[in-house]
Amino acid sequence: MNRPRQATDEQIKAAASPLRLRILRLCHQGEWTNKQLADRLGKDPSTILHHLRILEKAGFVESTGVRRGPSGAYEKPYRSTGLSWQLSFGLPEQGEPSILTAFREELAEAGHESIGDLTRFYLHLSEKDLERFSLRFRELVEEFRTDDEDREDLGAPVYSGLLVLHRLAADRPEV
C-alpha cells in the first residue's frame, strides 16, 4: 500500500466540517439524494446541498445522474468517489479535528450497544516505529474495506472506527 498523498487546501477545507464528513461517510455506504441526507441528518435540504457542492468540487462525491424518485419527481443521488481514502489531511493547529467530532456524533447516534470493540493502549514508539505502525494499520483497514465488490460479506453490518495515536503530555517537575 502506498502512503497517502497530501490533500490540497480545497480538500482540507472540505474535510474540515464534521457535517461534511458525515455526509461523505453516508455516501461511501451508498447513493443518497440531498433530501435523503437532510432527513437522515436532521438538517435543512439547502444546507446539505451547500455541503454536497463543496464535497463535489473537492472531488469527494459525485452525482450518479438524475432519476425519478418514488413520488415521480426528479432527484439527483450522490456517492463517494473514494478519493478521501487516498489522501492525508494533516492535523489542525488548534481545536478538535472535525473527524473526532463527526465520529463522536456517529457513535452517539448509534448508541453504546453498537460498539464492536473498544481498546485503549499505550505504545513506546520511535518516529520510525510510528510510521511503520501507521502503515501496517492502514494496510489492515484496506484489507477489510467494505467497498470492494468482490467481498462476500457486503451484507454484513458496517462498522466505523477511529485510531488516534497521540503523545502523552510530558511529566513536568513541580517548580
pLDDT digits (tens, 9 = 90+) for 98-131: 888 888 888 888 898 999 988 888 889 999 999 9
Is residue 80 over pLDDT 70? yes
User: What pTM, to 2 d.p., does this model score?
Assistant: 0.72
Closest to 80 (Cα-Cα) out of 53, 44, 56, 47: 56
127 located within any domain: no
Between 172 and 154, the higher pLDDT residue: 154
41: domain range? 5-113
Sequence-ordered alpha helix ranges (H) in the chain: 9-14, 18-29, 34-41, 45-57, 98-110, 127-144
Is residue 164 over pLDDT 90? no
12 located within any domain: yes
108 located within any domain: yes
19 located within any domain: yes
Is residue 93 over pLDDT 90? no
State pLDDT tens for residues 135-154. 999 889 888 875 555 556 66
Is residue 19 over pLDDT 50? yes
Q: What is the DSSP letter of 147?
A: T
173 located within any domain: no
> 3-state DSSP call for residue 49?
helix
Which three cell numbers, joined as nine digits, stand for 34?
440531498
> 3-state DSSP call for residue 56?
helix
CATH of the domain at 65: 1.10.10.10
Residue 95 one-letter amino acid: G
pLDDT for the residue numbered 146: 59
55 located within any domain: yes
49 located within any domain: yes
**Which residues, in sequence order, are bridge partners of residue 63?**
78
Which three cell numbers, joined as nine digits, stand for 117?
470493540
The total domain count for the chain is: 1
Which three cell numbers, joined as nine digits, stand for 26?
453516508
CA distance 27 to 23: 6
43 located within any domain: yes
